Amino acid sequence: MKVAWAGSRETLELSDRMAKLVANDPVFEKFTRPMLGRKELFKNTLRKAAHGWKLIVDLRLTEEEAKWLRLYIDEPAYTDLHWGMFIPAIEGQGTEEQKKKWLPLAQKMKIIGCYAQTELGHGSNVQGLETTATFDPQADEFVIHSPTLTSSKWWPGGLGKASTHALVYARLIVGGEFHGVHGFIVQLRSLEDHSPLPGITVGDIGLKFGNGAYNTMDNGVLRFDHVRIPRNQMLMRVSQVTKEGKYMQSDVPRQLIYGTMVYVRQTIVVDASKALSRAVCIATRYSAVRRQFGSRNGGPETQVIDYKTQQSRLFPLLASAYAFRFVGEWLKWLYMDVKQRLEANDFSTLPEAHACTAGLKSLTTTATADGIEECRKLCGGHGYLVSSGLPELFAVYIPACTYEGDNVVLLLQVARFIVKTVSELGYKQPVGTTAYMGRVATLMQNNCAVRTAEDWLNPGAIVEAFEARAARMAVACGRQLAKFENPEEGFAELASDLVEASVAHCQLIVVSKFIEKLQQDIPGKGVKQSLEILCYVYALFLLHKHQGDFLAVGYLTPKQALLANDQLRTLYSKVRPNAIALVDSFNYTDHYLGSILGRYDGNVYPKLYEAAWEDPLNDSDVADGFHQYVQPILKQKLHSAKL
């Protein structure tokens, strides 16, 4: 199962090596993080980043190894935006000449870049950005300016204190005409002493949610006062401005300016399974250690993992972690395919890639953020201790529901794609993830054939149920929309229904990709069978949770919905004997898990007890401040017993 989870034996061995490298290096210690003040915390992150980079250089790590190293260091840092957005943006939107100039500097970390798109006043609405880039043909330069307070760049990671350069998204003005938002490489700080260059005001935006957590990142604010940059620092793959001040567009679609977001959304889906599996690993191991009630004749109490309520909350999350792992693998393939096509100027699959990355980013991050919090509750009171690892994991993870596109805004993008597909059904055969809509007539007619709980153990029955639900919800939205004279007004009015239809479509993708994965050759005795059980748990859990949808569209009867739930209970009993092995298969070190509750050896209580004494409050028996603030109260002389 470890190999199935990792994807291959080579990846398992490679990631294992990186995990141990990090776990055995004292520089990467992370347990004191929540106790540190902001300055100390940030300096420590800079130290870790420098040490990580040194390891990459000294040990000549490959790109793949470096990515695993970053994962196991487990600390958000400016390097994420440099490698994860600044460099990919230049790769995707720069001309050959620009790539030749900037990429070697960035890849050797001679410059440090961030992705400065969001402003104080606008994040989701990229076309609403206010920063301007006005072309000055006399000087052959752009003038970058922040005309209003709300045009201040606000949020970019790495901007606050670390970056020397930023990829700034600004409205292009040539000859007094606006030409939409474009990307510009702007130097922010001196390469000698790191001080801000003239016309640049830059700093950190302040503390964020949770102790430690995302506060290792210097999310920044940035203002420009007529800052001049050479013309060739506008990324010009999509459109160009000539020396003479002529604006020209190439055949490349304008949406490619949003390409970096498509790339990062794909990586976020891949990472969702890592965050969720980590929380599930902690909650599962602890649920086997923890005992409450049920002692008979003085024997041991019941392990909480044996309660059906615990199983019905925990096992769907375990199954979701596997489901997200496999859909992430598929999405990575889809992205690589689109990337190759784009390089050959084939843009035909870009809308599908945009819809899939947006929708799956939204679906998986929402489920993961909720899932981490559920795991905290599954661990009872001890889950609330920082030493459980769950509060910090939650605090670091939740912004994923917002960054790289607010999850609702992204589902509305999926809705546009679905509505367009439905409206074109008469003359255009849908392909890819919407191919099922080509069978819409059958899906609208056929009803579920399940008669017994056993009948639900059939991939065909499951896929058809999810297809029928998604198709019927999409068609219902299409019919409602047709009643509006103005389609945009209709879209705004029906937005909540459209979001639900998008969720149904995205869940279908995850379920289908899990089932497709099981059609592959999966070596190892019993591995495929265990994955099949998890796949059924994932699908039937969703079906149970959203049974209202399945019933409302008229595909299922209430009896069939109940049978699905009966089957789900049986499946939980099948997961139980392998639950610990299924989380051990993630192959996480204790260092990466960062949790006393999730320790591999299960030695939870002695370690919790030991850790309590390490809290700074326990440095002395009598607390600092006692004599000043508590003792006077204890010693006060009140005139009467009543206040």
Ligand X SMILES: CCCCCCCC/C=C\CCCCCCCCCCCCCCCC(=O)SCCNC(=O)CCNC(=O)[C@H](O)C(C)(C)COP(=O)(O)OP(=O)(O)OC[C@H]1O[C@@H](n2cnc3c(N)ncnc32)[C@H](O)[C@@H]1OP(=O)(O)O
Contact of residue 459 among ligand FAD, ligand X, none (CB under 5-8 Å per partner type):
none
- Binding to ligand X (CB under 6 A) within 150-189 occurs at 157
48 interacts with ligand X by CB under 6 A: yes
Q: What residue spans of 379-458 are helical by DSSP H? A: 390-397, 407-423, 440-445
- Binding to ligand FAD (CB under 6 A) within 69-88 occurs at 81
Place of tokens 């559920």: 374
Q: Which listed range, 331-339, 396-404, 462-470, 538-546, lies at the site for ligand FAD (CB under 6 A)?
A: 396-404
266 interacts with ligand FAD by CB under 6 A: no
Comparing C-alpha atoms, which of 504, 518, 520 is closest to residue 469?
504
- Binding to ligand X (CB under 6 A) within 229-288 occurs at 255, 258, 261-262, 264, 267
Residues 6+ apart with CB under 8 A from 506: 359, 360, 362, 363, 411, 414
Is residue 576 packed enough to be buried (19+ CB in 10 Å), middle (13-18) or exposed (0-12)? middle
| CA distance linking residue 137 with residue 245, whole number of Å | 6
Residue type present at position 142: F
214 interacts with ligand FAD by CB under 6 A: yes
Q: Least Å distance between CB 263 and ligand X?
A: 9
45 interacts with ligand X by CB under 6 A: yes
Contact of residue 255 among ligand FAD, ligand X, none (CB under 5-8 Å per partner type):
ligand X
Residue type present at position 50: A
608 interacts with ligand FAD by CB under 6 A: no
Q: Which listed range, 50-58, 114-122, 512-520, 525-533, lies at the site for ligand FAD (CB under 6 A)?
A: 114-122
Nearer to ligand X, 4 or 106 (CB): 106
Q: Which listed range, 14-22, 153-161, 178-186, 420-428, lies at the site for ligand FAD (CB under 6 A)?
A: 153-161
Is residue 380 packed enough to be buried (19+ CB in 10 Å), middle (13-18) or exposed (0-12)? middle
Nearer to ligand X, 70 or 285 (CB): 70
126 interacts with ligand X by CB under 6 A: yes
| CA distance linking residue 398 with residue 371, whole number of Å | 11
- Partnered with residue 321 across adjacent β-strands are none
Question: Which are the catalytic amino acids?
Answer: 404
Q: Least Å distance between CB 3 and ligand X?
A: 24
Nearer to ligand FAD, 322 or 403 (CB): 403
How many binding residues for ligand X (CB under 6 A)?
Answer: 39
Contact of residue 408 among ligand FAD, ligand X, none (CB under 5-8 Å per partner type):
ligand FAD
**101's tokens:** 């100039």
Candidate list 44, 215, 216, 219; residue touching ligand FAD; CB under 6 A: 219
Place of tokens 């400065």: 116
| CA distance linking residue 77 with residue 7, whole number of Å | 27
**Alpha-carbon Rg of the chain, whole angstroms?**
27
Would you give the binding string for ligand FAD spanning residues 473-512, x where CB under 6 A is met? ----------------------------------------
E strand or H helix at 183: strand 177-187
421 interacts with ligand X by CB under 6 A: no
Nearest residue to ligand FAD by CB is 123
CA 264 centroid distance within chain = 9
Candidate list 183, 359, 405, 594; residue touching ligand FAD; CB under 6 A: 405
362 interacts with ligand X by CB under 6 A: no
**493's tokens:** 């009015």
Nearer to ligand FAD, 38 or 291 (CB): 38
Helix (H, G, I), strand (E, B) or coil at 75: coil
Nearest residue to ligand X by CB is 84
Q: Cβ(545)–Cβ(558) under 8 Å? A: no
- Binding to ligand X (CB under 6 A) within 87-116 occurs at 115
Comparing C-alpha atoms, which of 419, 437, 441, 418 is closest to residue 429?
437
CA 499 centroid distance within chain = 19
117 interacts with ligand X by CB under 6 A: yes
| CA distance linking residue 178 with residue 156, whole number of Å | 24
113 interacts with ligand FAD by CB under 6 A: no
Q: Least Å distance between CB 48 and ligand X?
A: 4
Candidate list 157, 160, 212, 259; residue touching ligand FAD; CB under 6 A: 157
Q: Cβ(302)–Cβ(354) under 8 Å? A: no
DSSP state of 94: S
Residue type present at position 575: V
Candidate list 160, 220, 359, 405; residue touching ligand X; CB under 6 A: 405
End-to-end CA, the chain: 67
**214's tokens:** 């995302």
397 interacts with ligand X by CB under 6 A: no
Nearer to ligand X, 192 or 488 (CB): 488
Q: Going by DSSP bridges, is the β-strand pair 177-187/165-174 parallel, antiparallel, or unpaired?
A: antiparallel
**622's tokens:** 């009598």
Candidate list 18, 49, 378, 411; residue touching ligand X; CB under 6 A: 49
Phi, psi of 373 (to 5 degrees): -65, -40
Q: Which listed range, 2-10, 119-127, 462-470, 570-578, lies at the site for ligand FAD (CB under 6 A)?
A: 119-127
Please report the DSSP string for 462-529 in residue order: HHHHHHHHHHHHHHHHHHHHHT-SSHHHHHHHTHHHHHHHHHHHHHHHHHHHHHHHHTS---STTHHH
409 interacts with ligand FAD by CB under 6 A: yes
Q: Cβ(454)–Cβ(567) under 8 Å? A: yes
Q: Cβ(135)–Cβ(229) under 8 Å? A: no
118 interacts with ligand X by CB under 6 A: yes
How many binding residues for ligand FAD (CB under 6 A)?
Answer: 22
53 interacts with ligand X by CB under 6 A: yes
- Binding to ligand X (CB under 6 A) within 55-74 occurs at 66-67, 70, 73
Contact of residue 436 among ligand X, ligand FAD, none (CB under 5-8 Å per partner type):
none
Q: Least Å distance between CB 536 and ligand X?
A: 33
324 interacts with ligand X by CB under 6 A: no
Phi, psi of 143 (to 5 degrees): -110, 115
Q: Least Å distance between CB 627 and ligand FAD?
A: 42
Nearer to ligand X, 45 or 284 (CB): 45
Q: Least Å distance between CB 454 and ligand FAD?
A: 42
Q: Least Å distance between CB 495 and ligand X?
A: 13
Q: Cβ(512)–Cβ(542) under 8 Å? A: no
**140's tokens:** 């052959």
Residue ranges binding ligand X (CB under 6 A): 45, 48-49, 52-53, 66-67, 70, 73, 75, 77, 79-80, 83-84, 115, 117-118, 123-127, 157, 255, 258, 261-262, 264, 267, 350-351, 354, 403-405, 409, 413, 416
Residue ranges binding ligand FAD (CB under 6 A): 81, 115-118, 122-124, 155-157, 214, 219, 399, 402-406, 408-409, 412
